[in-house]
Amino acid sequence: MLVNKYIIFFIRSEKGTFYALDLGDTNFRVLRVELGGQRSSLHPDVEQHPIPNLLMSGRSEDLFDFIASSLHQFIEKGNDSEQSPITKELGFTFSFPVNQTSVSSGILIKWTKGLAIKDMVGKEVAGSLQQALARKGLNMQVTVLVNDTVGTLALGHYHDADTVAAVIIGTGTNACYWERTDAIIKCQGRLTTSGGMVVNMEWGNFWSAHLPRTSYDIELDAESPNPNDQGFEKMISGMYLGDIVRRVILRMWEESDIFVSVSSKSSMPFALRMPSMAAMHADDSPELTEVARILKDDLDIPDVPLKARKLVVKVCDVVTCRAARLAAAGIVGILKKIGRDGSGGITGGRSRSDIKMRRTVVAVEGSLFTQYTMFREYLQGALHEILGEDVARHVILMDTEDGSGTGAALLAASY
C-alpha cells in the first residue's frame, strides 16, 4: 500500500487559470480549469491525445517531450501566453504505482496497463516532466504529482464534502481513501495538520488465495506483459474484460461445434475491446445483429448462428457481473475500514441497528462505470446486497467525469 504524503487542501477561494496533465494509459489529457472564486461547477477544457505506439515502449525522454509539446500547443491555442513572467503551477496526474516522496515528487515503481518504458522505472516522475517542460521553454512548475484516484477524490470532495473515497474503474482499477494518520502504520509518527492523509491503495495488485481464478484468468495473466502482477485489476478493469470474453469464445469453438470457424484474428490478444463487449452486452435486437457485426468486424468470425450469439451475450454478462461484484467488494472493504459500512468500524462492535449511518460519498471515474450500463447496475446491486438496503441507501456513488485531471488542477491551485 502506498501512501501519498500530503493532505488534500480544498479550494474555496482561488482565482485564475490552472493546468493539469493526466497520464494514465494509452491516451493522455491536457486540461485547463478556470477558477472563479466561487464554489461553482467546473467546466475544464480538455484535449485528449493518443500516445503513439512507439513512445509506449521507447525512451522516457521522448514520451515526456511529446507530452510537453502537446501542453505547449494547448496553451498557445488558448491564447494564454506561456511566456508570462509568472511561473504557472501544473498538476500532474500520473496513474501508475509511485513511491511518493513529497507532494510534488515520486519515483515510478513499475508500469501497469501495458506501458513499458524501461528506463523510467526507478526515476523521479515529476522531475522528468519538469526537464521536458524546460526543454520546451515552458515557464511552468510541477507543483503536484498525484495518482488518478487522488485527483478524483479531490474533485469529489470539491463537489461534495461527504466524499470519503475515490475509485477508478477504467483501463485499470484502483482506489484511495482518507485515513487518520495514526491508523497508517507506514506513517510512523509523521503528522499532518489535518490529522489525516490520503492512502492510494493500488488495489489492482490485491490478491488473495480465496479469490478463485478460472483457466481464462490464468492464461490471460501468463500471456500479459506483467505476469503474476495486478491480479485484481485483470479480473475487473476495461483493459482485460474483453480479452477474457475472447478467450471463452475461442474455447467454445475448440470444444464444441457451436462456432463453425474462427480466424487468426480471434487468437490475437486484446482483439476484442471493452467498448465492443459493452455494445454486444447491450444488444437487445431479436437477431442480435450488433453481436454478429462485432464478432465479424473485431474477431473476423462471420455467420455466427443466433444460438451462439446468445451465448456470447451470456459470457459478456457473466464476466461483467463478476468484475462489478469484485469492485463492489473492494468498495465495501474501504467502507468497513473507515467505519462506514454500518457495522461500527473495526473497533466499534455495535450492532447494525444501533449505528446511525452518515451520508457517505464515493467518487467514481472510469469508462466501465460511465459507459457500461450493465456493469454499473451490477455494481450498485452488489453494494446493496452486501451492505443491506438500510446502509446502502446512505452510500452514494458520484460520477466524476475527468475527475483525475481536474482534481490535479485544483490541487495545483491550492499550492
- Which residues are catalytically annotated? 29, 95, 148
Cβ proximity to ligand GLC, 304 vs 368, nearer residue: 368
C-alpha closest to that of 277 among 225, 316, 228: 316
Distance CA 282, CA 13 (A): 44
Going from the C-alpha of 381 to that of each of 144, 386, 388, 398, the distances in angstroms are 36, 9, 10, 15
Alpha-helix residue ranges (DSSP H) falling in 111-182: 125-135, 148-159
Residue nearest ligand GLC, Cβ-based: 172
Phi, psi (rounded to 5 degrees) for 91: -90, 140
Cβ proximity to ligand GLC, 36 vs 122, nearer residue: 122
For residue 231, the minimal CB distance to ligand GLC (Å) is 11
Contact between residue 369 and residue 407 where contact means Cβ atoms under 8 Å apart? no
Residues near ligand GLC, by CB under 6 A: 24, 95-97, 112-113, 147-149, 168, 170, 172-174, 202, 204, 233
Sequence-ordered list of residues with C-beta below 8 angstroms from that of 376, at least 6 positions apart, any chain: 324, 368, 369, 370
Contact between residue 17 and residue 34 where contact means Cβ atoms under 8 Å apart? yes
Cβ proximity to ligand GLC, 75 vs 168, nearer residue: 168
Sequence-ordered list of residues with C-beta below 8 angstroms from that of 326, at least 6 positions apart, any chain: 211, 232, 235, 236
Three-state secondary-structure class, residue 91:
strand
For residue 268, the minimal CB distance to ligand GLC (Å) is 23
Cβ proximity to ligand GLC, 295 vs 409, nearer residue: 409
Three-state secondary-structure class, residue 34:
strand
Distance CA 130, CA 134 (A): 6
For residue 208, the minimal CB distance to ligand GLC (Å) is 17
Distance CA 386, CA 277 (A): 27
Query: First vs last Cα of the chain: how many Å apart?
Result: 25
For residue 8, the minimal CB distance to ligand GLC (Å) is 16
Cβ proximity to ligand GLC, 19 vs 203, nearer residue: 203
Give the CA diameter of the chain. 70
Cβ proximity to ligand GLC, 60 vs 149, nearer residue: 149
Cβ proximity to ligand GLC, 179 vs 233, nearer residue: 233
> Per-residue DSSP letters for 300-331?
------HHHHHHHHHHHHHHHHHHHHHHHHHH
Contact between residue 274 and residue 238 where contact means Cβ atoms under 8 Å apart? yes
